[in-house]
């Protein structure tokens, strides 16, 4: 999979595409997989890198959403639990189950959470992950040795899924490509074209690497631009009522010593009524998140001081070693594309209460909306439910475009890299390279050909040089940031280590992509600017 071949496909394309998808996050790539696997002819355009938006900035949980259960939204939880099961089934190299412990400090919490989490387990039916149960104080501390013991009575354990969001997305991009879709990063959709009746019949776009502009005709155009959805809808219909309420969430990343053991902590009600997770992730501790309404979405959101302080203070209430600013290895912010309570939304969304002042109470359900101009928008939902969102969207888009009816086939479609070995065996044999699934053999071949590629890029992180070469050659990494933020997760795990690695990564990418010295210097400068948002100032 490389950009040159993708361009050749576009240039050789004689007629209108069955479907053009705008946006290369979980939603857009999910739609591309679904449509291509049904046999439709699909083009996906992403203005930046795949996953540059929210889809690399999540809590990385494949979950039903325990909190939505508390809100009484059983249908939403059941749907997500089923999707969680399908994700594990189809991408076992990237998704795995994880024990979550809800610590109890009041007498009523054990029966209350014990019962709720048992229901959560039962709702998963045959897609269940593990048996939830009430824990004694000792058992709770066996799961979470670094949990504060003061006032601790016990806990309740339940099981959910965890994954690497950007890595799953890249494997999904390859899956869509293998199913016949054409996908390009660094191509911005600048406008929509319409036929004589005023129906959207294509997009105008600009290759942000070369500045070249082109037009792609389509029988239907799908807007999967997440928090940016309204911007594109306004291009189709200047009077369109906004659908999206953007809400920011941040995470802080610390050393693994803050959360020892293999389990995560789930705090169902923080001081301001939100949920907080502390999770072991790639040998580090990930803590989040917040839910702060913001005025407008940006591609590189920045954590606010009060969000950082809130997470530090709340984590300090539960962990024996209270983290400080100096302990933060990385901070990252993402924007939830929540769907507005009223307005233009139609289709499959439901259950949105109006008049809410906090975004944490807004619906996490998804919407497929068709504007009068035939422009299809799919938004809302969550990472876990991307497959179901795509199925709904392609069903409706195909009907609208009068494409030949074809059933959805993604329930059992394996994501690229589906491994032969079990997760435990792969982890034993390949260590941190196990997330590449079956691609690990190809990465090993690179190392066999040039043993220098086995060299680590930094003592604090597990990444080796071969991963950079692989990313540039086969995963359409175009910038130093693509490699350090989304092909590896260096920037998300340890911003200063990522900055140290950047020159070596730029050297390797320069050889692969033919960069001259000026380009290499520009790449490094651009990366340093982005990385400054991930490195917390003392
Ligand atoms: C803090 C936080 C934590 C979360 N945690 C979880 C979790 O643990 N589990 C879970 O299931 N869900 C979680 N979610 C939700 C989940 O991450 C999102 O629902 C999902 O990633 C949204 O994907 P998307 O593709 O719709 O949007 P995005 O990933 O934002 O993708 C939209 C893409 O469209 C592109 N784009 C925009 N305009 C244009 C244009 N004109 N031309 C071309 N491209 C364009 C953007 O560059 C972007 O890449 C979380 C969300 C947040 C914010």
Three-state SS string over 166-210 comes to HHHHHHHHHHHHHCCCEEECCEEEEEEEECCCCCEEEEEEEECCC
**pLDDT at site 357:** 34
User: How many Å lie between the centroid of ligand 1 and the Cα of residue 334?
Assistant: 8
Residue among 22, 55, 189, 360 to mutate when testing ligand 1 (max atoms within 8 A of CB): 55
Task: State how far the Cα of 121 lies from the Cα of 393, in Å rounded to an integer.
Answer: 29
User: How many Å lie between the centroid of ligand 1 and the Cα of residue 126?
Assistant: 29
Instruction: Kindly state if the Cβ of 388 falls inside 6 Å of ligand 1.
Output: no
Instruction: Kindly state if the Cβ of 246 falls inside 6 Å of ligand 1.
Output: no
Instruction: Kindly state if the Cβ of 58 falls inside 6 Å of ligand 1.
Output: yes
| pLDDT tens digits along 173-199 | 999 999 999 999 999 999 999 999 999
Task: State how far the Cα of 320 lies from the Cα of 19, in Å rounded to an integer.
Answer: 53
**pLDDT at site 342:** 55
Q: In this structure, how many other beta carbons lie within 10 angstroms of the beta carbon of residue 235?
A: 18
Helix (H) or strand (E) holding 104: strand 95-104
The alpha carbon dihedral of 314, 316, 319, 323 has a sign of positive
User: How many Å lie between the centroid of ligand 1 and the Cα of residue 225?
Assistant: 8
Ligand 1 atom with least separation from CA of 333: 1
**pLDDT at site 364:** 62
**pLDDT at site 428:** 79
**pLDDT at site 362:** 53
Ligand 1 atom with least separation from CA of 26: 25
**pLDDT at site 508:** 98
Q: Which two tokens stand for residue 126?
A: 């045959």
Q: Which two tokens stand for residue 21?
A: 């998808």
**pLDDT at site 42:** 98
Residue among 23, 56, 184 to mutate when testing ligand 1 (max atoms within 8 A of CB): 23
User: How many Å lie between the centroid of ligand 1 and the Cα of residue 228?
Assistant: 9
Closest CA to 263 of 285, 243, 292: 285
Residues 456 and 463: beta-carbon distance below 8 Å: yes
Instruction: Kindly state if the Cβ of 292 falls inside 6 Å of ligand 1.
Output: no
Residues 331 and 253: beta-carbon distance below 8 Å: yes
Q: Which two tokens stand for residue 392?
A: 């709904």
**pLDDT at site 365:** 84
**pLDDT at site 429:** 81
Q: Which two tokens stand for residue 61?
A: 């949980």
Ligand 1 atom with least separation from CA of 45: 43
Q: What is the dihedral of CA 310, 314, 315, 316, to 10 degrees?
A: 110
Instruction: Kindly state if the Cβ of 334 falls inside 6 Å of ligand 1.
Output: yes
Instruction: Kindly state if the Cβ of 278 falls inside 6 Å of ligand 1.
Output: no
Instruction: Kindly state if the Cβ of 155 falls inside 6 Å of ligand 1.
Output: no
User: How many Å lie between the centroid of ligand 1 and the Cα of residue 53?
Assistant: 5
One pLDDT digit (tens) per residue for the chain, 538 residues: 999 999 999 999 988 999 999 999 999 999 999 999 999 999 999 999 999 999 999 999 999 988 888 778 888 899 999 999 999 999 999 999 999 999 999 999 888 989 999 999 999 999 989 899 999 999 999 999 999 999 999 999 999 999 999 999 999 999 999 999 999 999 999 999 999 999 999 999 999 999 999 999 999 999 999 999 999 999 999 999 999 999 999 999 999 999 999 999 999 888 878 889 999 999 999 999 998 999 999 999 999 999 999 999 999 999 999 999 999 999 999 999 989 865 433 333 322 222 223 444 455 689 999 999 999 999 999 999 999 999 999 999 999 999 999 999 999 999 999 988 777 777 778 888 999 999 999 999 999 999 999 999 999 999 999 999 999 999 999 999 999 999 999 999 999 999 999 999 999 999 999 999 999 999 999 999 999 999 987 6
Give residues with Cβ within 8 angstroms of 279, minimum separation 6: 59, 60, 61, 98, 162, 259, 264, 265, 285, 286, 287
Instruction: Kindly state if the Cβ of 337 falls inside 6 Å of ligand 1.
Output: yes
Task: State how far the Cα of 241 lies from the Cα of 341, in Å rounded to an integer.
Answer: 12
Task: State how far the Cα of 332 lies from the Cα of 491, in Å rounded to an integer.
Answer: 9
Instruction: Kindly state if the Cβ of 59 falls inside 6 Å of ligand 1.
Output: yes
């Amino acid at each position: 999979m490389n950009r040159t071949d993708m361009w050749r496909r576009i240039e050789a394309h004689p007629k209108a595409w069955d479907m053009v998808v705008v946006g290369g996050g979980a939603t857009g790539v999910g739609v591309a997989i679904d449509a291509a696997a049904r046999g439709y002819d699909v083009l996906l355009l992403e203005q930046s890198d795949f996953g540059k938006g929210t889809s690399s900035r999540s809590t990385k949980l494949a979950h039903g959403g325990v909190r939505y259960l508390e809100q009484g939204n059983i249908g939403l939880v059941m749907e997500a639990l089923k999707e969680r099961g399908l994700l594990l089934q189809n991408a076992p190299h990237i998704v795995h189950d994880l024990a979550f412990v809800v610590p109890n400090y009041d007498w009523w919490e054990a029966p209350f959470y014990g019962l709720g989490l048992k229901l959560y387990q039962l709702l998963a039916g045959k897609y269940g992950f593990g048996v939830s149960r009430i824990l004694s104080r000792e058992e709770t501390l066996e799961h979470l040795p670094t949990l504060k013991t003061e006032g601790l009575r016990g806990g309740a354990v339940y099981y959910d899924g965890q994954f690497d969001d950007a890595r799953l997305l890249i494997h999904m991009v390859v899956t869509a490509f293998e199913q016949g879709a054409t996908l390009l990063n660094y191509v911005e959709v600048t406008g929509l074209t319409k036929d004589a009746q005023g129906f959207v019949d294509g997009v105008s776009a600009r290759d942000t690497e070369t500045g070249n502009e082109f037009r792609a005709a389509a029988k239907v155009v799908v807007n999967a631009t997440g928090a940016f959805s309204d911007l594109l809808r306004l291009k189709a219909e200047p009077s369109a009522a906004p659908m999206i309420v953007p809400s920011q969430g941040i995470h802080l990343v610390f050393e693994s010593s803050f959360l020892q053991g293999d389990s995560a902590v789930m705090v169902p009600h923080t001081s301001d009524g939100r949920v907080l997770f502390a999770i072991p992730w790639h040998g580090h501790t990930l803590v989040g998140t917040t839910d702060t309404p913001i005025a407008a979405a940006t591609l590189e959101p920045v954590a606010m001081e009060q969000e950082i302080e809130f997470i530090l203070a709340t984590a300090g209430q539960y962990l024996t070693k209270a983290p400080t600013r100096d302990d933060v290895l990385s901070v990252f912010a993402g924007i939830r594309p929540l769907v507005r309570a009223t307005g233009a939304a139609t289709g499959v969304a439901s259950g949105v209460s109006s008049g809410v002042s906090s975004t944490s109470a807004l619906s996490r359900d998804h919407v497929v909306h068709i504007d009068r101009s035939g422009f299809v928008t799919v938004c809302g939902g969550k990472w876990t439910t991307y497959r179901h969102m795509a199925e709904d969207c392609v069903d409706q888009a195909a009907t609208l475009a009068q494409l030949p009816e074809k059933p959805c086939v993604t329930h059992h479609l394996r994501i690229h890299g589906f491994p032969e070995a079990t997760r435990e065996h792969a982890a034993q044999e390949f260590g941190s390279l196990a997330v590449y699934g079956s691609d690990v053999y190809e990465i090993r071949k690179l190392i066999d050909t040039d043993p220098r590629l086995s060299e680590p890029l930094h003592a604090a992180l597990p990444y080796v040089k071969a991963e950079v070469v692989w990313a540039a050659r086969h995963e359409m990494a175009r910038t130093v940031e693509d490699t350090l933020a989304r092909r590896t997760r260096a920037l998300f795990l340890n911003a200063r280590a990522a900055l140290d690695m950047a020159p070596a990564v730029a050297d390797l990418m320069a050889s692969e992509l033919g960069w001259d010295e000026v380009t290499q210097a520009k790449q490094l400068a651009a990366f340093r600017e982005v990385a400054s948002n991930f490195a917390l100032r003392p």
